[in-house]
Amino acid sequence: MTTVKAMSDYIEGIVISLTFRTGANITTAPKLALFTTNPTDANTGTEVSRGGYVRQPLPLFTKNGTYFQNSVKITFPEATENWGIITHIGIMSATTGGSLYFHAQLERVCDMQEGDIFEIGVGKLRVSLYGAYGSEYIKDKFLNLLLNANYYTFNDPLTYLGLLTNSGEVSGKNYARKKVEKSQWSETVEETEEGGHLIYNTNSYNSVVFNKASDDWGEITRVGIYDAATGGHCIYIANLKYPQYIDDEDRIKFPSKTLRLMIT
């Protein structure tokens, strides 16, 4: 059994862009590739290229707990010459070339000789974003989009910022989620020194400013990013570096570059 958890640099950037700047429409099924070295997040591994090898289309993936798994067996063509020792797999965007989505090391390496057939049984290939940033709702959406080519886009506008205490989201007392327009997020997704990808609110004249409290809101300890003005789904949630107590007549705002989302 192989569990894929590592996102490539490419897909980290895509995840942020889909959330904050664009929708998406992926119409072709991704392909499974075999590697004799670690692809790494930067897609620098050595893919098999010898006789009989061709990437295989992924079947429908179904959710099982915190991961998605293949619903039918995946079978590669018979090797017509030695492919070498298969150590890693990668999920790619195209039959040849393209971009790397996810990668993982095999639990057991496989020495592929002429006449051998590489197979992955039903439910033996699992893809999970467990532990990654984002709610379970949005992780499921991303995996459905990338693995099953299911179209998904966020409500318009893309994001609303909400405030939370340790007891949950603030309600009443002149509180309302604050709409964050696409133009208020940085135009490009930046790569960080840690190898992650970052987007942040920009334009100091366009700071994210909440309504003035008409009564005590309590100590704001977290912020949430939602896909609707009320109700909807929480996409991301994070602790404030410095919690703020909001009393009657107080208001909270986030100047330029103080809302930063990074995926690594």
Give the 3-state secondary structure of the chain.
CEEECEECHHHHHHHHHHHHCCCECCCCCCEEEEECCCCCCCCCCCECCCCCCCCEECCCEEEECCEEEECCCEECCCCCCCCEEEEEEEEECCCCCCCEEEEEEEEEEEEECCCCCCEECCCCEEEECCCCCCCHHHHHHHHHHHHHCCCECCCCCCEEEEEEECCEECCCCCCCCEEECHHHECCCCEECCCCCEEEEECCHHHCEECCCCCCCCEEEEEEEEECCCCCCCEEEEEEEEEEEEECCCCCCEECCCCCEEEEC
Per-residue pLDDT, 219: 97
pLDDT tops 80 at residue 22: no
| List of residues 6+ apart from 77 with CB closer than 8 A | 52, 53, 54, 117
In the numeric block, the tokens 């960080």 are attached to: 192
- Please report which confidence band the pLDDT of residue 55 belongs to, taking 50, 70 and 90 as the band edges: very high
Nearest to 226 by CA among 209, 214, 238: 238
Interval 102-128: pLDDT, tens = 889 999 999 999 999 999 999 999 887
Residue, of 2 and 244, whose pLDDT is higher: 244
What does pTM read for this prediction?
0.69
Per-residue pLDDT, 205: 47
**81: number of Cβ within 10 Å:** 13
Nearest to 231 by CA among 130, 183, 160, 181: 160
Per-residue pLDDT, 255: 81
- Please report which confidence band the pLDDT of residue 189 belongs to, taking 50, 70 and 90 as the band edges: low
- CA atoms of 238 and 261, how far apart (whole Å): 9
Interval 62-94: pLDDT, tens = 888 778 889 999 999 999 999 999 999 998 988
The stretch 140-155 carries a mean pLDDT of 64
Nearest to 129 by CA among 104, 153, 159: 104
The stretch 212-241 carries a mean pLDDT of 89
Interval 163-183: pLDDT, tens = 999 999 999 999 999 988 766
pLDDT tops 60 at residue 198: no
pLDDT tops 50 at residue 243: yes
The stretch 27-56 carries a mean pLDDT of 92
Per-residue pLDDT, 157: 43
Per-residue pLDDT, 187: 58
Nearest to 49 by CA among 58, 40, 36, 38: 36
Q: Which of 11-15, 71-75, 105-109, 242-246 has the lowest mean pLDDT?
A: 11-15
